[in-house]
Chain A
């Protein structure tokens, strides 16, 4: 019984954080399912892919790959490059996901952009189990994406869209999360570095290939600036 109460409290604490993601994932998921539907795939494709890949940008690219000829190496390389940013999420969550038993496996499996953002910044309320809180954030986001994509695949072109611009909900969410992170920092070296390096790499390398150069530059800069950053920002 105790365990049941603990889970319910964690679910109640986690749910409000995931509401914006529900809006964003249903919109993007529907769009993705519809895209697959009109590209000639049955609804079980978006259903299977949203369940197992659970990573929006790659799933959109995968539609194009599925329409082309079979190219296993290129597919794997594309997946690794598009998803490389998850390496950073893992490093940032090493300590938070430590010692959470069997839940840890699912938490790592479902560590997408949005889940990472919430679990990295949210302050788990007093009296709420951390492991279950992270678990429900991950599970709810996974369910939103899965259901949105599947429904999009089912109803496909029947839907009429006059919701232009609703995808901005993701930008707004990352703005808020950026601000929350900003409030927590004593100095903003890392946040400013992230903005500046990303913007610079975007303008140099273009929208399709700026992530990897950005990650490399950030690693080099954070390593080179370790001393001053640790002294200025991270000292307790």
Chain B
């Protein structure tokens, strides 16, 4: 690839990304009220999307070989328990991550 082709490749990545980010806001303008159905989607989607993101983080974990995803599930359990107990975002995230790192570095 020549430098110009490289720049074009990067520009196309930007164009693709920005299309997906701006499109909903361009279709449903700031000035007119959003259709009822889209408002419904806007309220119903976040829950579903956070479920998707959580699964997305685990997409490369193989549950049927190696450690069977047990360190990941244990890390998530520790994070969730910490969060249900203290409800301090940073504590839950740091605790879960440190627990997971210790688990895979020292045990698995």
Given that A53-B13, A69-B1 are known contacts, is A190 also in contact with B48, CB under 8 Å in the complex? yes
B30 contacts which chain A residues (CB < 8 A)?
Answer: 98-99, 104
Closest approach, in angstroms, between the C-beta of A186 and any C-beta of chain B? 11
A229 sits at the interface (CB 8 A): yes
B1-19 toward A: CB 8 Å interface, digit per residue (1/0)?
1100110111011111111
Of the residues B58, B94, B105, contact of A164 by C-beta under 8 Å:
B105
Contact across chains for B40 and A226 when beta carbons are under 8 A apart: yes
Distance A76 CA – B10 CA, assembled complex (angstroms): 10
Contact B8 A70 (CB under 8 A): yes
Could you say which residues of chain A place their CB within 8 Å of the CB of B19?
Answer: 80, 83
| Set B9, B50, B92, B104: member contacting A62, Cβ < 8 A | B9
Min C-beta distance of B57 to chain A, whole Å: 4
CB B88 to nearest CB in A, in angstroms, measures 10
CB distance from A59 to the nearest CB of B (A): 8
Contact B9 A165 (CB under 8 A): no
List of 7 A-B pairs having minimum Cβ-Cβ separation, nearest first = A79-B16, A194-B51, A90-B24, A194-B48, A190-B47, A198-B55, A191-B47
Taking CB atoms, residues of chain B closer than 8 Å to A172 are 75-76, 79, 92-93, 96-97, 100
- B: residues with CB less than 8 A from A are 1-2, 5-6, 8-10, 12-25, 28, 30, 34, 37-60, 72, 75-76, 79-80, 83-84, 89-90, 92-94, 96-97, 100-101, 103-105
Which residues of chain A have C-beta atoms less than 8 A from B80's C-beta? 175, 179
B79 → chain A closest CB, angstroms: 5
Across the interface, name the chain B residue whose C-beta is closest to A120. B46
A164 touches B90 (CB 8 A): no
Tell me whether A20 and B13 are in contact in the complex, defined as CB-CB below 8 angstroms, given that A72-B8, A179-B84 are known contacts: no
